[in-house]
Amino acid sequence: MKIFGYQVEPGTRLCEYVKVGELACFSDIRIPVLVIRGEQAGPTLWLTGAVHGDELNGLWAMRRLFWDLAVKDLRGTLVLTPLLNPMAFLARSKISPLDYLDMDQQFPGNPQGLYSERVAHAVFSELRDKADYVIDFHTLNHLFSATPYTVSKIVPGAADSTNKTALSMTRAFGVYPNCRVDLQSASGELPGATSGALDILCMQHNIPCFMAELGGGGRWDEPVIQVAYEGIQNVMVSLGMLAGEPLAPRKQLMITKRKFLRSNVGGLVRMAVEPGSFVPAGGLLATIYDFWQEVDRVYAEQDLFVIAACFNPVVSSGDRLAFVGYEWHEAE
């Protein structure tokens, strides 16, 4: 098989760069591509990371897994593009200073477009033809700490089997909290635009895909990297690419409604809750101070599951304090 024009024989691995653009200072813009092709035939699982340039934990999980997996143990092919947005990565930023576009709103991309649209096109046109399954790795932004969770979307236009397979992949990944977002009823619930997102485009092309949200951005978070490292292998086991049993927890939380909680005042926040915890209605979430006094206390208006909490204490009115689930069920 060929990936980005590189021939990959059974029982071999590839570690290469793909040129996706050029800079004014005469350097090429390149993205890394790592492939392991097992000796036995099987599906192609494609992992993508750092489409937002400061979201780094998935990148390291992929790198570690690439060198730990033995080709003789693998059925099928694992393709890793751990760094989709090198210009944003260079700027330690979610988006690139070349065009200020969110690359995860540009798929399927445009070969005649701006930098982010061109990279999106280069990656998606290859992935669309080669991938049977996709996992897209993200993090919350660098101001937050977060418990690792998955997001699978019910995408209008995708086959029922695609929506079901994406869900079973998230379950196999094996983290406790999982967000299930029905795009038909999710208007206003998600942050920002959702069209042009890689996971949605994959689903519309009937390539089962989910997002794994791995902690906060701008740092290595070793426990979260380990969760991703094990989660990828769990999914590979569930797809028949590796032998063994997936190590999913017996109970998992399926969050069907979620939202950001925002501060109404400015000041210095001390969060009273940790990501990954439940807070009953009326429970204290955060206290905000100035240099003389408490200026506000924020309480839960309903039972909540805290997905992510503000890590940086600086808040202005309108800033996000926490990302929470407020409707969920447990699934076995």
Indicate the residue whose CB is closest to Zn ion.
138
Please state, in angstroms and rounded to a whole number, the distance separating the CA atoms of residues 295 and 171: 42
Nearer to Zn ion, 55 or 126 (CB): 55
Among 67, 50, 69, 68, residue whose Cα is nearest residue 58: 50
CB of 89 to Zn ion, least distance (A): 12
CB of 264 to Zn ion, least distance (A): 27
Interface residues toward Zn ion, by CB under 5 A: 52, 55, 138
In terms of DSSP bridges, do strands 209-213 and 133-138 run parallel, antiparallel, or are they unpaired? Answer: parallel
* Residues 166 and 203 sit within 8 Å (Cβ to Cβ): yes
CB of 56 to Zn ion, least distance (A): 11
Please state, in angstroms and rounded to a whole number, the distance separating the CA atoms of residues 253 and 155: 20
Residue 145 vs residues 59, 71, 138, 298, 323: alpha-carbon distances, Å? 18, 35, 13, 18, 10
Nearer to Zn ion, 57 or 163 (CB): 57
CB of 241 to Zn ion, least distance (A): 25
CB of 55 to Zn ion, least distance (A): 5
CB of 102 to Zn ion, least distance (A): 9
Provide the residue type at 323 as one letter.
Answer: F
CB of 191 to Zn ion, least distance (A): 10
Nearer to Zn ion, 3 or 227 (CB): 227
Helical (H) or strand (E) element with 199: helix 198-204
* Residues 120 and 109 sit within 8 Å (Cβ to Cβ): yes
Nearer to Zn ion, 214 or 309 (CB): 214
Please state, in angstroms and rounded to a whole number, the distance separating the CA atoms of residues 35 and 125: 17
Please state, in angstroms and rounded to a whole number, the distance separating the CA atoms of residues 59 and 176: 21
Nearer to Zn ion, 38 or 144 (CB): 144
Residue 178: both structure tokens together: 């999982």
Please state, in angstroms and rounded to a whole number, the distance separating the CA atoms of residues 103 and 100: 9
